[in-house]
Amino acid sequence: MKTVIIKYNAGNIRSVLFALDRLGVEGVVTDDPEAIKAADKVIFPGVGEASSAMRYLQERKLDQLITSLKQPVLGICLGMQLMCKHSEENDTNCLGIFDVEVKRFQSPVDNLLKIPQIGWNNVTGLYSTMFEHVPENSYMYFVHSYYAALSPYTVATTNYVINYSAALQKDNFYAVQFHPEKSAGEGQKILENFLKL
């Protein structure tokens, strides 16, 4: 099985490679369109800023490539947000795989919750094959200031300031806001389930 991690100058790739290695899978990091198309599984991770990441994808025509992929694709964190239609982060038009708006958390009145959300939070309403054998209310590791609104594509929910999409799914496209590669055993199980799709 060939697993490709899309390179687009958004961080977080090394931890994904380590997580795959723990599962006995060798990941290949590349922005080569032919290698991406030939992969059995594609992972689209990322930490960073939406508009510069989209610019990198567009300059290399990777935006068109990603939306055309037919094999299972997993977006992680920024990767998930870029798979949505639009992000409030620098008013960025994204890939549009999910017809979902990405919005910035509004600081709560009591200031008890800090923006960005950094740390562990539970996920509920798990509804996808990628959550098989993952317990309801499992804790996952999040780092983000923007969130995908709830939608018909929502397959897991988290509450931080408001309820939002912790995971999305449409056809062969899967996406999670949290970092499964940093989320202990349950996160590892999610990656394992994705690799079995």
The active-site residue, picked from 89, 144, 179, 192, is 179
Tokens at 138, concatenated: 């499992």
The answer to whether residue 133 is catalytic is no
Dist. CA 135–CA 149, nearest whole Å: 23
The answer to whether residue 94 is catalytic is no
The active-site residue, picked from 86, 181, 186, 192, is 181
Dist. CA 149–CA 13, nearest whole Å: 25
The active-site residue, picked from 77, 84, 94, 144, is 77
Dist. CA 184–CA 5, nearest whole Å: 20
97 CB-near residues (< 8 Å, 6+ apart): 66, 67, 83, 84, 170, 173
Q: Which residues are catalytic?
A: 77, 179, 181
